[in-house]
Amino acid sequence: MLGSGGREHALAWKLAQSRLLAGAEDKFYAAPGNPGIAEHARCIALNVTDHDSVIAFCEEEQIGLVVVGPEAPLVDGLADSLRARGFAVFGPSKRAAQLEGSKGFTKDLCERAQIPTAGYVRTVSLEAARAALDTFAPPYVLKADGLAAGKGVVIAETRVEADAALADMFGGAFGEAGAEVVIEEFMEGEEASFFALTDGSTIMTFGSAQDHKRVGEGDTGPNTGGMGAYSPARVLDPITRGEVMEKIIGRTVKAMADEGMPYSGVLFAGLMLTREGPKLIEYNCRFGDPECQVMMMRLESDLGELLYACATNSLASVERVKMRRETALTVVMAAQGYPGTPEKGGAIDLGNAEQAGAKVFHAGTLLADGHLVANGGRVLNVTALGGNVTGAQAAAYAAVDAIEAPTLFCRRDIGWREVARETA
């Protein structure tokens, strides 16, 4: 398994329980991993941008399945390089990963395949972008076209703010990701995340979640990679889920296959639930972070068998994904300064946080002289189960309060919309 974040710790935790590893637990490797992942897999130093090195390791260890956690190696084409040498890989090809690697690519595909989404314009210069703003009403939705670690979206309330944000984007604030900017109409509604597995033809519903992107309570402040999540997202009722599968996921998988770039892996659809029905905000070509953490807590199916079936075009032979009925909720503990420059090196004592059944997934941690310290922006994902969101929230925050980490902070309102509905 490739990756080192909270998503990858959750995947490693669940993969370690798979029947595929029965009797071969010492053959489960993670590159580069983190202190939490090291509890389940052998962490190795491997440069994922060096495809030849990854292939050489896989050949030497006779790896039967490669699971690519983060998006960057997929957009870089690592799955293609491995498949060309005969390895089973969970994750899409470079061409298919454009669904996340280029927002403009996805918007154009939606237009061709009649997938409901917001109106948009693609721009490649500051002058063109500012001219395009004249065709939109505030608030303005501005998106860097490429990968920006979940932070490349700006919602500008005024024209002045939009002009300044565009100047930042084209001025290099997001590096190469901002060389092209997509401007979209603002959609009103509630957001939710929907996940489906596919091997390019068969499609299987995996689960749903609701993320909390803003750094501040009440969904205020700048966007982050995600400050917490819960699953399932009950706003995605059975009728809405059916509509998403038919009009969004199904049309996407068919269009990708018809255009010669079949999609294999997990399709993560960020949705806006509008008055006209669900619309696609964006696609990700990997499990969400922190949505993955809550779905792994609920997953009853064998994750290894599911991912292997996707990688070997045999998903049709697998039963439906089975999830626990309980709700799972995760709270991100982030380093002071995030989503700007995070403060690294702060001491962490997990105490008895997991004593009551909660699970602490490591996202940005490091062992220094045998002591756990913060080593990133989002540091821990404190995850718990409950009978509903209210119960899962209480259990998660009880675990948060058992952790001593003076340099970390968290939102105290993860799941607030659903809690309000449950207590109304």
Give CA–CA dist 60/166, Å, rounded.
Answer: 48
Query: pLDDT band for position 94 (50/70/90)?
Result: very high
HSE-up of 390 (CA within 13 Å, CB side)?
6
Query: pLDDT band for position 146 (50/70/90)?
Result: confident
Task: Report pLDDT for 319.
Answer: 87
Residue 114 neighbours by CB distance under 10 Å: 10
Q: Token pair of 35, please?
A: 């202190």
Percentage of the chain modeled with pLDDT above 90: 92
Nearest-CA neighbor of 208 among 227, 235, 190, 226?
Answer: 235
Query: pLDDT band for position 17 (50/70/90)?
Result: very high
344-388 confidence digits (pLDDT tens) = 999 999 999 999 899 999 999 999 999 999 999 999 999 999 999
Give one word for 354, left, alpha or beta, with left for phi > 0 and alpha for psi -120 to 50.
alpha
- In this structure, which amino acid lies at residue 176? E
Q: What is the mean pLDDT of the chain?
A: 95
CB distance 30 to 37 below 8 Å: yes
Looking up tokens 């989002």 gives 378
- At 363 the three-state DSSP class reads coil
Residue 23 neighbours by CB distance under 10 Å: 7
114-139 confidence digits (pLDDT tens) = 999 999 999 999 999 999 999 999 99
Greatest alpha-carbon pair distance for the chain in Å reads: 63
Give CA–CA dist 98/165, Å, rounded.
Answer: 24
269-313 confidence digits (pLDDT tens) = 999 999 999 999 999 999 999 999 999 999 999 999 999 999 999
183: β partners: 121, 142
Fill in the DSSP letter of residue 364. Answer: S
Predicted model pTM: 0.94
Nearest-CA neighbor of 353 among 14, 36, 30?
Answer: 36
Bigger pLDDT: 303 or 174? 303
- In this structure, which amino acid lies at residue 307? L
Task: Report pLDDT for 148.
Answer: 77
CB distance 330 to 358 below 8 Å: no
**Any idea what the Cα angle at residue 13 is, between residues 9 and 14, rounded to 5°?**
120
Q: Is the pLDDT of residue 149 over 80?
A: no
**Any idea what the Cα angle at residue 237 is, between residues 100 and 217, rounded to 5°?**
65
Task: Report pLDDT for 75.
Answer: 94
Fill in the DSSP letter of residue 406. Answer: T
- Say how many Å lie between the first and final Cα of the chain, rounded: 43
| Whole-Å CA distances, 319 to 13, 203, 302, 328 | 22, 12, 10, 23
- In this structure, which amino acid lies at residue 80? D
378: β partners: 334
Give CA–CA dist 261/249, Å, rounded.
Answer: 15
> What is the secondary structure of 157-219 as a DSSP string?
SSHHHHHHHHHHHHTTTTGGGGSSEEEEPPPPSEEEEEEEEESSS-EEEEEEEEE--EEETTT
Residue 335 neighbours by CB distance under 10 Å: 23
Q: Is the pLDDT of residue 150 over 70?
A: no
Give CA–CA dist 397/356, Å, rounded.
Answer: 12
Provide mean pLDDT across the span 37-44: 97
